[in-house]
Amino acid sequence: MKLNKIITTAGLSLGLTLPSLVSAAPTTFVHLFEWNWQDVAQECEQFLGPKGYAAVQVSPPNEHITGNQWWTRYQPVSYQLQSRGGNRSQFIDMVNRCNAAGVDIYVDTLINHMAAGSGTGTAGNTFGNKQYPIYSPQDFHESCSINPEDYGNNRYRVQNCELVGLADLNTASNYVQNTLAAYINDLQDIGVKGFRFDAAKHVAASDIQALMAKINGSPVVFHEVIDQGTEAVDASEYLSTGLVTEFKYSTELGNAFRNGSLAWLSNFGEGWGFMPSSSAVVFVDNHDNQRGHGGAGNVITFEDGRLYDLANVFMLAYPYGYPKVMSSYDFHGDTDAGGPSVPVHNNGNLECFASNWKCEHRWSYIAGGVDFRNNTADNWAVTNWWDNTNNQIAFGRGSSGHMAINKEDATLNATVQTDMAAGQYCNVLKGELSADAKSCSGEVITVNSNGTINLNVAPWDAMAIHKNAKLTQSSLPNNAEDWQRTVVFINAQTQSGQDMFVRGGIDHAYANANLGRNCQTTNVECAMPIRHNNLKNNTTSLWKANDNYLDWYGIEQGQSSEAQGTATDWTTNIWPSEYGTQKTVDADGFGVTPLNIWGEHYWMLDVEMDCSKAVNGWFELKAFVKNGQEWEGDINQANTPYASTNHMAQCGKINMFEFNSSSVEVRDF
């Protein structure tokens, strides 16, 4: 959803109608807090544009007081484009490059005040005693302080006194309005598409209406109005001149995720007393409340890890408001600390995810959530809501998408109804659809022929699928083959004289109902054709002879009667000296192999496999230890393409499992 030209001039209605959005249009913007202009430009080109972000909110670009603290950016000295983020030419370069990448720039804009005290700004201009390069003392209100209790009962002091000692502009003045409008119009001439009006509730709504009448065109404008419902200044006063930050969204969502029940959220939004969806800017956290101020409440931040993932997934999946994703840095408990000393894009190294920049917008669950929202905006309603009355929920966006969140310690196992077409879909929170739509780099979710999904969502996990992440059936003819090397490791503690076999294939009932295969009549229809790569183990090579299928049925015609299915070989990644002469898979068919990166007792199946027989790349298997544990018990692997009590592996990959465990690791060769 590009929000170009949606904010009208003073007194006119807001022209944003979210339900009418075109499918797959960008719907979400990101706040790259304290990023410099070169980093923002590079991020637009390399990630934000390709991933479908609509816009970037950048830190104030104008001259400000000197200092390392983040809040120095919010104490303006002039409107000269010289800041910690860069100079005017660097800012223009960033705007041009982001626009070329399809990403708009929104500028954090300070209309309420100028810097406190006296000193020299980042462009070398001096200030003091309410004297600035562009303002004189007559352009400000008389000095007075806003007391804590004023926010609840004294509108005049909130809008005419000084916010934390900052010189309060007389925004009713024509000169002040004209000066602010000239700055904003200059930014628009550069190519800026939107503006966040910082501390908007400290400016009378009538003053903003007058300012908007002097601003060219119809940029996106959203007002920072902290209103938890008990304020002397109400957020609704600002709806006629732009979008408004809905701070109650952040605190109530945080309370539900941190302390309450996700089942509460079925009517989240207007049903909770929030402002109209078409007027609201929403967020899980922002740069203020993640530091414990600015209406903090029960705010969830990057420090909450997976909880933060899940809260963002909900925000991005649920049809309410214009979402803003926060992209932070680690301030290590120092709520005044400025950004890290290293750039985000540091000579080819991405300084994300560790102790510097957090780059939450790149986290797979958040970027995937943006993709889901972009592709479901044409169905602006919640459909088929399901919950377990606690912290497992699922809901749809009509025929455009479906999602589920499991914020419990037990697996979410449920069959839920959807409005989506039957087929296989990529879970966009964990992977991406290939360019030819024939494979997914992550988990595959199946919508059954009756429109249901057999959910199998791991604890503290989520899934999201949409209509444009559907896998196509292979273009290979029915008799075509797709042979790929496939390796399976299964870790099991074994003793001398014990051997591991596996059986597997495709579930008969699933194949009959969804793939058009009659496996009861022809067993091999649900078997995976294989050719063994490792025939150097003198013991197992005899069992591998005439073993042409990974199937459910035991020995094949001509196969040794000692086999219990398809034979595997014992491997390790270390060879202690007490073992004697080192054995390797390459030379001896067992022992050390570079494919085993985990440890001892990893039994390996190394075959060429006909992947055309797999279910969008997946197949089942289960292990049997001869002269030992025998068969594994039921497996409950999460996010499989269909419900199964067996391991699910990916054809053409390296798969690692633990005996009698539901864990899985899949790697590329």
Helix 205-212 with 174-190: angle, nearest 10 deg: 50
Scored b (16 or more CB within 10 A) or e, 15-29 reads ebebeebeebebbbb
Report which residue type is found at 669: F
Rounded mean pLDDT of 280-291?
89
Return d(Cα 153, Cα 165) in angstroms, integer.
Answer: 20
Where residue 510 falls among pLDDT bands split at 50, 70, 90?
confident
Q: What would you measure as the largest C-alpha separation in the chain, in angstroms?
A: 100
CA distance 626 to 564: 8
Least confident of 394-398, 424-428, 556-560: 556-560
Q: What pLDDT was estimated at residue 661?
A: 95
Tell me the residue length of the chain. Answer: 669
556 pLDDT band, cuts 50/70/90, is confident
pLDDT of 555 strictly over 90: no
* Predicted local distance difference test score (pLDDT) of residue 15: 32
Query: What is the average per-residue pLDDT within 128-150?
Result: 97
Check whether 261 has a pLDDT greater than 70. yes
Spacing of C-alpha 247 from chain mean position: 21
* Residues paired with residue 594 on neighbouring β-strands, in sequence order: none
Q: Could you tell me the pLDDT band of residue 293, with boundaries at 50, 70 and 90?
A: confident
In whole angstroms, give the CA distance from residue 248 to residue 270. Answer: 11
**One of 34, 39, 104, 198 is an active-site residue; which one?**
198
Which amino acid is it at 394?
Answer: A
Mean pLDDT along residues 399-423: 95
What pLDDT was estimated at residue 616?
82
Predicted pLDDT at 13: 29
CA distances 418 to 10, 86, 262, 346, 482, Å, are 43, 49, 19, 45, 32
| CB within 8 Å of 83: residues ≥ 6 apart | 59, 60, 61, 62, 63, 64, 73, 122
Position 444 scores a pLDDT of 86
Question: What is the reported pLDDT for 24?
Answer: 64
Lowest mean pLDDT among 87-101, 333-347, 479-493, 588-602: 479-493
Beta strands in 111-203 (DSSP E): 113-114, 119-120, 126-127, 167-168, 194-198
CB 455 within 8 A of CB 413: yes
The C-alpha atoms of residue 662 and residue 68 are separated, in whole angstroms, by: 49
Average per-residue pLDDT for the chain: 91
State pLDDT tens for residues 426-480.
999 999 998 888 888 888 898 988 899 989 898 999 999 999 999 986 433 345 6
HEC-encoded secondary structure of 201-247 = HHCCHHHHHHHHCCCCCCCEEEECCCCCCCCCCCHHHHHHHCEEECH
- Residue 9: predicted pLDDT: 25
Q: What is the pLDDT of residue 515?
A: 80
Residue-range domains of the chain with CATH: 18-376 (3.20.20.80), 383-469 (2.60.40.1180), 483-667 (2.60.40.10)
Catalytic member of 34, 39, 139, 224: 224
Lowest mean pLDDT among 113-117, 158-162, 505-509, 632-636: 505-509
Checking if the pLDDT of 404 tops 70, the result is: yes
State the pLDDT confidence band at 519, using cuts at 50, 70 and 90. confident
Which residue in this structure is represented by tokens 């001892």? 600
Average pLDDT over residues 71-94: 98
> Rounded to whole angstroms, how far apart are CA atoms 475 and 468?
18
8 pLDDT tier (thresholds 50, 70, 90)? very low
Q: What is residue 94's predicted lDDT score, i.e. its pLDDT? A: 98
In this prediction, residue 296 carries a pLDDT of 59
Tell me if 80 sits within 8 A of 4, measured CB to CB: no
pLDDT at 5 over 70: no
Neighbours of 495 (CB within 10 A): 9
Q: What are phi and psi of 369, to 5 degrees?
A: -65, -35
* In the predicted structure, residue 316 carries a pLDDT above the cut 70: yes
Residues 6+ apart with CB under 8 A from 289: 247, 250, 251, 295, 296, 297, 299
Q: List alpha helices for 521-668, DSSP H.
A: 540-544, 585-588
Tell me the two tokens of residue 165. 């000692």
User: Is 186 known to be catalytic?
Assistant: no
Q: Tell me if residue 665 is catalytic.
A: no
* DSSP class per residue in 386-419: EE-SSSEEEEEBTBTEEEEEE-SSS-EEEEEE-S
* Per-residue model confidence (pLDDT) at position 297: 66
Mean pLDDT is lowest, of 231-240, 347-356, 652-661, for: 347-356
Q: What is the pLDDT of residue 295?
A: 58
pLDDT (mean) for 188-212? 97
Angstrom distance (rounded) from CA 210 to CA 212:
5
pLDDT the model gives residue 207: 98
